Amino acid sequence: MAVLPRVILKRGKEKPVLRGHPWIFSGAVEKMERDLSPGEVAEVYSREGQFLGIGHVNPHSQIIVRILTQKREALEKDFFRERMSRAFLLREKWFQGKVQAYRLINGEGDFLPGLVVDRYGEVFVLQCLTAGMERLKVFLTDLLATDFHPQSIYERSDAATRKEEGLPESRGLLFGKEIPDRIEIEEYGCRFAVNVKGGQKTGFYLDQRENRFSLKRLSQGRRVLDCFSYTGAFAIHAGLGGARDLTLIDSSEDALDMAEVHFQLNHLGDLPHRLIRGDAFEVMRSLEPGYDIIILDPPPFAKKKGHLPSASRGYKDLNLLAFRLLNEEGLLLTFSCSQHMSWDLFQKIVFSAAVDAGRRVQLLGRRGHPVDHPVNLSHPEGEYLRGLGVRS
Mean pLDDT of 239-266: 97
Can you give the pLDDT at residue 308? 86
Q: Is 190 a catalytic residue?
A: no
Q: Report which residue type is found at 147.
A: D
pTM of the prediction? Answer: 0.94
For the beta carbon of residue 142, count every other beta carbon within 10 angstroms.
Answer: 14
DSSP 140: H
Give the Cα separation of 60 and 37 in Å (integer).
9
Given pLDDT bands bounded at 50, 70 and 90, which one contains residue 290?
very high
Mean pLDDT of 164-185: 95
φ/ψ of 51, rounded to 5, equals -70, 130
Tens of pLDDT, residues 199-248: 888 999 999 999 999 999 999 999 999 999 999 999 999 999 999 999 99
C-beta separation of 276 from 247 below 8 A:
yes
Given pLDDT bands bounded at 50, 70 and 90, which one contains residue 95?
confident
DSSP 110: G
Q: Is the pLDDT of residue 172 over 80?
A: yes
Residue 166 φ/ψ region, left for φ over 0, alpha for ψ in the -120 to 50 degree band, beta for the rest: left
Q: Report which residue type is found at 95.
A: F
For the beta carbon of residue 265, count every other beta carbon within 10 angstroms.
Answer: 16
Cα 373 versus chain centre, distance: 7
Q: Is 259 exposed, middle or buried (0-12, 13-18, 19+ CB in 10 A)?
A: buried
Residue 90: name the closest of 77, 106, 76 by CA: 106
Mean pLDDT over the full length of the chain: 95
* All residues at 6 or more sequence positions from 348 whose CB lies less than 8 Å from its CB, including other chains: none
Residue 37: name the closest of 167, 147, 154 by CA: 167
For the beta carbon of residue 65, count every other beta carbon within 10 angstroms.
Answer: 32
Given pLDDT bands bounded at 50, 70 and 90, which one contains residue 2?
confident
Give the Cα separation of 273 and 39 in Å (integer).
50
Tens of pLDDT, residues 133-165: 999 999 999 999 999 999 999 999 998 889 989
Q: Is the pLDDT of residue 113 over 80?
A: yes
DSSP 265: H
Can you give the pLDDT at residue 1? 65
| Edge-to-edge strand ranges of the sheet holding 63-69 | 23-25, 63-69, 51-57, 40-45, 6-9, 29-32
Given pLDDT bands bounded at 50, 70 and 90, which one contains residue 348?
very high
C-beta separation of 353 from 320 below 8 A:
yes
Tens of pLDDT, residues 358-386: 999 999 999 999 999 999 999 999 999 99
Domains and CATH numbers, the chain: 6-69 (2.30.130.10), 77-176 (3.30.750.80), 205-391 (3.40.50.150)
Collect contacts of 327-330 with beta carbons under 8 A, ≥24 apart.
327/223, 327/289, 327/290, 327/291, 327/292, 327/392, 328/392, 329/292, 329/391, 329/392, 330/291, 330/292, 330/293, 330/294, 330/391, 330/392
